[in-house]
Amino acid sequence: MEEQHKKILQRNRINLVRDLDPSNLYDALLEKGVFTQDMIDEIKSSGTRRDQARQLVRDLETRGSRAFPLFLECLQETAQHHLAEILQSGAPTVQLQPAAPTKVHPVIKPLPVISPMDVDKQNKDTVPIYPLQRPTTTPSPSPETETFRPRPQGRTRRDSIKSYKMDASPCGHCLIINNVEFERESKLNSRKGSNVDCDKLERRFKALNFIVEVKTNLKQRQIKHELSALSKKDHSQFDCCVVIMLSHGTEVSHSRFPGAVYGVDGQHVPVQHITNYLNGQHCPSLQSKPKLFFIQACGGGEKDTGFEVSPDEAQPSIGRTDDQTDAIPMSSSSDSLSTSDETDARATLPTPSDILVSYSTFPGYVSWRDTSSGSWYVEMLDRILEENAATDDLVTMLMMVNDEVSRNSAKGLYKQMPGSFNFLRKLLYFQTPA
């Protein structure tokens, strides 16, 4: 598909996902050769009407140069005129070249008697890929004919990745642990601005149809108790579970994944243990369902000064002067900027599938927090979810968060780079208000 047509689809994705009726389009798209039957079946299996519409638009962008005008034809033929008009308003006039005879269908010959494995291989190798090659009287292909490499056996198109079921109402539980005031014996400073983070995330996940529970100023044993209680809930009627940790953090010895989050008593809980509470072994009712962990805490005490880039790559840096960190300095850490500087914990990830842990910072480095507007990471995560959850999957949105946070600078010098460990097997789209 031409780049200008892709951009039109992307600009109008919210309208298409909201209003498109894919079920009325399948026959027309198949007849015109835009999609194969296999692709139609994959779209149908992606979930709800909105999920199917989203998958259809995504697949459409991978088709040939005739896909966009043929899609407009299908919208007109199925009386979805308002969508066709929206797309046409931003598109140049497209002249369709007549395709090869449209009334002639491929001749289907009976398969010989062969082994099941050979049948499977033959079926995969002979699946037609758009544009659909119909019998013609001239065997030589047109110079404009687009050709595609056959799909290797045993591999699938990226676009065939399915989406998690996310239509339960409510969608699932969301536990937020917000540690702000630390006991004097812990020798940890108060985390000013963390309540701003907590309020933003509570509102955001309620808007995404989660049951949100907030726990404030928990000691180590209380953190473990709340996670254990969450793992013992019956999640069978829900589709997802979210845990958000807002606290100080540090590096710890580990067998697989580093990082730990502090309780207000100065005792820490390894993030590896936090995630283990909800894995398939310890929480059977969440098996095969996405478990999401968002960690606003430092991964260590190092402060990143960034590196110089070429003028073409340079982007405006958002300077901050009232930023603090949430890390506990290690022996290898940089000197503190002031007596009030702190750092946040680094997250880790266990091996079971369907888990994603999103870190506010790169392992070993501090995570910055503004004392009045909250942390860089949570501020951007909240904004990206608000603006893009209706159209984009979670992993794509987290990349947007990474990009935006990387542009900030603390005290005109220090940088921050979020990241995630992704063990999800499918795309994840949140529920959004109609």
Neighbours of 85 (CB within 10 A): 12
> Exactly one of 171, 174, 241, 298 is catalytic; which is it?
298
**H or E stretch including 199?**
helix 194-207
- Is 273 tagged catalytic? no
Dihedral pair phi/psi, residue 250, rounded to 5°: -160, 175
Residues 6+ apart with CB under 8 A from 276: 282, 350
Distance CA 212, CA 201 (A): 9
- Is 105 tagged catalytic? no
> Exactly one of 5, 173, 248, 268 is catalytic; which is it?
248
Distance CA 117, CA 119 (A): 5
Q: Are 243 and 294 in contact (CB under 8 A)?
A: yes
Dihedral pair phi/psi, residue 124, rounded to 5°: -70, -40
Residue 197, burial from CB neighbour count under 10 angstroms (0-12, 13-18, 19+): buried
DSSP conformation letters of 307-332:
----TTT----EEESSEEEBB---TT
Owner of token pair 């254990």 = 228
**H or E stretch including 6?**
helix 3-11
Do strands 291-296 and 355-359 pair parallel, antiparallel, or not at all (unpaired)? parallel
Distance CA 29, CA 352 (A): 39
Which residues does the annotation mark as catalytic?
248, 298
